Amino acid sequence: MASAFVSYHACYNISYSLAKDIHYLSKLKLPKFNIRGNGSTSAVTKIRASTVSTVPHVIENVDMDLKQTRQNIPTTKQFVDPHRQGSIIENGVRYRQLVVIRSYEVGPDKTATLESILNLLQETALNHVWMSGLLGDGFGATHGMVRNDLMWVVSRLQLQVEDYPIWGEVLQLDTWVGASGKNGMRRDWELRSQATGVVFARATSTWVMMNKRTRRLSKMPDEVRAELSPWFIEKQAIMEDTPEKMKKLDDTAKHGTSSLKAKRSDLDMNHHVNNVKYVGWMLETMPDEFMEQYQLCNIILEYRKECGSSDIVQSLSEPDEENRTTDESLRSLNGMQIKYTHLLQTKGEVKNEEIVRGRTTWRKKHSKMPFPM
């Protein structure tokens, strides 16, 4: 409440100052000159023009002040952020934040949805960059990236879920970064119960840089590498084996829908569809009865292409051959993990273009609900 009052008070003072400046400019007493009709610009005109021309500069400066007052991005490394319940730990490079599962982040079974967990991962990643003092005017972009017109894009993500947190549960979410090859960055997460320390989920991801103008992948500039490398940690949340090759699905897939389209609310600060939205589209094809009985325990996503607001998207899914079953026999698979392959692609007049390929693993839901119905 106090911070909101301070922000309002600062904005009021800036607006009042601007009003005084404009009022002052309008009341200036200009000297009188004889204006000759020879076609030349009079001194009065020149003075008035120069006076009026200062107004846009005043407004521009006020806009910058307002933005800084509202956002207040740190320019130096911060170790504690009381507003976000966050702190920098482990030799000053790892980020830890306390989060609470809200009512709008759970599904009918009162456990956090997959999309909610992925959104928490994304938010803590951005908060990590925020506290580092490296955040420029972009979606997680550093100052060096802004100068080189670069942005981050995720190329691969894996999430393993041991158990789903319930509504109202307080969680401890850690995130850190490391190198991935010559031009990429790895980001990992670990989600625990704040009360017991039990691990709910682990995740790892690979990020690369894209030029915002050409929309092509870019090498990591030396100045960006110098910004990021002091934050790199060797530890991995998920020890990855050799990634299995995901097959490409086609229209013969068992499940599919072709009527998906992004809304304005699906776009992020980089003006493309947020990667979490893709997961929701991917799961749209899963049968209702299956989703009622099974819960996801592992997901691997390989991102291939951006998706814009004008694209029509097709979502396809296919169970593995050894898991193929009729809906009536789902109950016989109790205790067995079921795997699916997924594909999102844009539907074009000439050809379709892949957005993301995915692999999901599912297990039987617990027989008891976390809360009585």
Q: Supply the residues annotated as catalytic.
A: 270, 272, 307
Full 3-state SS string of 129-186: HHHHCCECCCCCCEHHHHHCCEEEEEEEEEEEECCCCECCCEEEEEEEEEEECCCEEE
Alpha-carbon distance values, 186 to 37, 91, 154, 168, 205 (Å): 72, 19, 10, 30, 6
Name the DSSP letter for residue 52. Answer: H
Closest by Cα among 178, 244, 234 to 206: 178
Q: Are 312 and 260 in contact (CB under 8 A)?
A: yes
- Six-digit token string for 59: 């407004």
Q: Which helix (H) or strand (E) holds 225?
A: helix 222-228
Burial class of residue 77 in the structure, from the number of CB atoms within 10 Å of its CB (0-12 exposed, 13-18 middle, 19+ buried):
middle
Residue 25 to residues 20, 22, 236, Cα–Cα distance (Å): 9, 5, 61
Q: Each residue of 241-260: b (16+ CB within 10 Å) or e? A: eeeeebeebeeebebbeeeb
334 vs 286: CA distance, rounded Å: 18
Residues 220 and 197: their CA atoms lie apart, in Å, by: 37
Computed from CA positions of residues 57, 61, 64, 70, in that sequence, does the dihedral angle turn out positive or negative? negative
- Contact between 314 and 284 under an 8 Å Cβ cutoff? The reply is no
> Could you tell me how many helices (H) and strands (E) the chain has, helices first?
7, 13
Using only the alpha carbons of the chain, give its radius of gyration.
27
Nearest of 52, 124, 135, 120 to residue 94 by alpha carbon: 124
